[in-house]
């Protein structure tokens, strides 16, 4: 599981520029994945082969200047509790401000690694000016210019060295599907888990999660063995308003990265709102299996059309990835909770499906022959061969003469055909064009 690094600091010191630079560095290495990412504040980066998740807390601070201070305090408190390492960014142009001192005061008590980063240092004079940041009492600092990336290498070397070691997953534990129950606060995650487990809590063994908060518990229920990654039973934070979006996202990042399938619990009364969509795109971007559970369905006034209308609306919000099972449940009356787990197991199997290369080619090549990629700049693309890549989730390489001329709509066409024929319901599928 990846470590989480949070970037904190007051507005306009360059957190987002730095964040974008780190995210792009990684995305330049990995093929761009088709699809949409609607969450600008969470991403992955890697350095020297070590991958980590990055959270830009600045993107979650809303409000005017006078509201900022209280909000930033909250972000910092959360980052301290949730992240494995913290980058505290300041700006040499403004020097040390009162708000910087407030943040530093909170960070001085922390046992986790804190990196003080002075941004916008792009010449020798500014290098000298940066000395005043020793006054923050956080020890040595790193000087960078996030606009052109100078100085970021040394910072990242130190950062990955300080991250906790990744614990290898236990062999036996590896085989069991891991289901993460995620969603916004008060959507009914706890009730769903309690309804599943029942009064006797059918616990076979307790596995302490690699994080202190999402507990992995092995269950046998309805004839299935699975690990439940439970983010619901986490203690309430006195300093944090329950509905803070940042809090949900932080929690979900942990659980999602730690799972095979995400059960996203949606409150039927609130609907598939922005915060739930954030969590959905997090799971999609991490290429996890997804099942949407619309909870509290017993409380909704409905006629024979309601289910279809709600389902249609949710799918419209998930475009282009709409091939996701939606189950209407009530944790209170235990309505369809068996169906929810059954569906999660099916999605898990779909995600680990391996298709023989011969079958893949015999099935897909005739389809491609009938509907070849449209010519681009007068050039014709010929796809010769297809194989599934040896990854935990379905990824397919199509070998052709001019991979750069295959546009996204055609890749989506191929993805939809793969889904239709081989049933990848609930699972993001990646299609890559490779030079043959």
Q: Is 243 annotated among the ligand-binding residues?
A: no
Q: Is 37 annotated among the ligand-binding residues?
A: no
Q: CB–CB of 148/122 below 8 Å?
A: yes
Q: Is 60 annotated among the ligand-binding residues?
A: yes
Give how far the C-alpha of residue 175 lies from the chain's centroid of Cα atoms, to the nearest Å: 22
Q: Which residues contact 200 (CB under 8 A, 6 or more apart)?
A: none
| CA gap 69, 301 in Å, rounded | 43
Q: Is 406 annotated among the ligand-binding residues?
A: no
| CA gap 434, 135 in Å, rounded | 53
Q: Is 232 annotated among the ligand-binding residues?
A: yes
Q: Is 331 annotated among the ligand-binding residues?
A: no
Q: Is 295 annotated among the ligand-binding residues?
A: yes
Q: Is 20 annotated among the ligand-binding residues?
A: no
Q: Is 15 annotated among the ligand-binding residues?
A: yes
Q: Is 187 annotated among the ligand-binding residues?
A: yes
Structure tokens at 365: 């090549």
Query: What's phi and psi for 56, nearest 5 deg?
Result: -95, 100
Q: Is 273 annotated among the ligand-binding residues?
A: no
Burial tier of 250 (Cβ tally within 10 Å: 0-12, 13-18, 19+) = buried
Q: Is 225 annotated among the ligand-binding residues?
A: no
Q: Is 230 annotated among the ligand-binding residues?
A: yes
Of 257, 277, 282, 309, nearest to 52 by C-alpha is 257
Q: Is 12 annotated among the ligand-binding residues?
A: yes
Q: Is 178 annotated among the ligand-binding residues?
A: no
Q: Is 359 annotated among the ligand-binding residues?
A: no
Q: Is 44 annotated among the ligand-binding residues?
A: no
Provide the sign of the torsion angle of the four alpha carbons 206, 209, 214, 220, taken in this order: negative
Q: Is 298 annotated among the ligand-binding residues?
A: yes
Q: Is 151 annotated among the ligand-binding residues?
A: no
Q: Is 111 annotated among the ligand-binding residues?
A: no
Q: Is 57 annotated among the ligand-binding residues?
A: yes
| CA gap 254, 73 in Å, rounded | 22
Q: Is 190 annotated among the ligand-binding residues?
A: yes
Q: CA angle 194-200-205, nearest 5°?
A: 90
Q: Which residues contact 318 (CB under 8 A, 6 or more apart)?
A: 280, 324
Q: Is 231 annotated among the ligand-binding residues?
A: yes
Q: Is 185 annotated among the ligand-binding residues?
A: yes
Q: Is 271 annotated among the ligand-binding residues?
A: no
Q: Is 97 annotated among the ligand-binding residues?
A: no
Q: Is 183 annotated among the ligand-binding residues?
A: yes
| CA gap 418, 415 in Å, rounded | 5
Q: Is 219 annotated among the ligand-binding residues?
A: no
Of 59, 24, 26, nearest to 41 by C-alpha is 59
The annotated binding site for GTP is made up of 9-16, 56-60, 119-122, 183-190, 230-234, 295-298
The annotated binding site is made up of 9-16, 56-60, 119-122, 183-190, 230-234, 295-298
């Amino acid at each position: 599981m990846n470590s989480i690094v949070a970037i904190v600091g007051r507005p306009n010191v360059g957190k987002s520029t730095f964040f974008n630079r780190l995210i792009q560095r990684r995305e330049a290495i990995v093929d761009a994945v088709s699809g949409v990412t609607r969450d600008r504040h969470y991403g992955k980066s890697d350095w020297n082969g070590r991958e980590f998740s990055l959270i830009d807390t600045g993107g979650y601070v809303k409000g005017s200047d006078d509201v900022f201070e209280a909000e930033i305090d909250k972000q910092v408190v959360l980052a301290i509790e949730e992240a494995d390492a913290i980058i505290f960014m300041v700006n040499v142009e403004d020097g040390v401000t009162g708000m910087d001192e407030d943040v530093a005061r909170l960070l001085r008590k922390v046992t986790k690694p804190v990196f003080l980063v002075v941004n916008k240092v792009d010449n020798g004079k500014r290098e000298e000016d940066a000395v005043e940041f020793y006054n923050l009492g956080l020890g040595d600092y790193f000087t960078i210019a996030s606009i052109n990336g100078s100085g970021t290498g040394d910072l990242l070397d130190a950062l990955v060295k300080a991250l906790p070691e990744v614990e290898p997953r236990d062999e036996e534990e590896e085989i069991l599907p891991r289901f993460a129950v995620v969603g916004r606060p008060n959507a009914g995650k706890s009730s769903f888990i309690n309804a599943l487990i029942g009064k006797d809590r059918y616990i076979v063994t307790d596995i302490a999660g690699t994080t202190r908060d999402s507990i992995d518990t092995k269950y046998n229920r309805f004839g299935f063995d699975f690990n439940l990654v439970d983010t619901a039973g986490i203690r309430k934070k006195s300093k944090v308003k329950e509905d803070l979006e940042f809090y949900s996202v932080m929690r979900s990042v942990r659980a999602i990265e730690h799972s095979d399938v995400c059960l996203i619990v949606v409150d039927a009364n609130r609907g598939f709102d922005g915060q739930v969509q954030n969590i959905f795109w997090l799971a999609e971007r991490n290429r996890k299996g997804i099942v949407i559970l619309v909870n509290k369905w017993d409380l909704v006034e409905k006629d024979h059309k309601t289910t279809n209308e709600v389902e249609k609306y949710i799918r419209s919000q998930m475009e282009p990835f709409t091939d996701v099972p939606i189950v209407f449940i009530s944790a209170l009356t235990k309505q369809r909770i068996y169906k929810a787990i059954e569906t999660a197991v099916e999605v898990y199997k779909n995600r680990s499906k391996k298709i023989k290369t011969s079958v893949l080619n015999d099935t897909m090549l005739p389809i491609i022959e009938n509907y070849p990629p449209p010519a681009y700049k007068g050039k014709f693309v010929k796809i010769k061969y297809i194989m599934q890549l040896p990854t935990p989730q379905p990824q397919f390489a199509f070998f052709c003469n001019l991979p750069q001329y295959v546009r996204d709509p055609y890749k989506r066409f191929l993805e939809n055909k793969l889904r239709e024929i081989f049933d990848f319901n609930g699972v993001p599928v990646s299609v890559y064009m490779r030079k043959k």
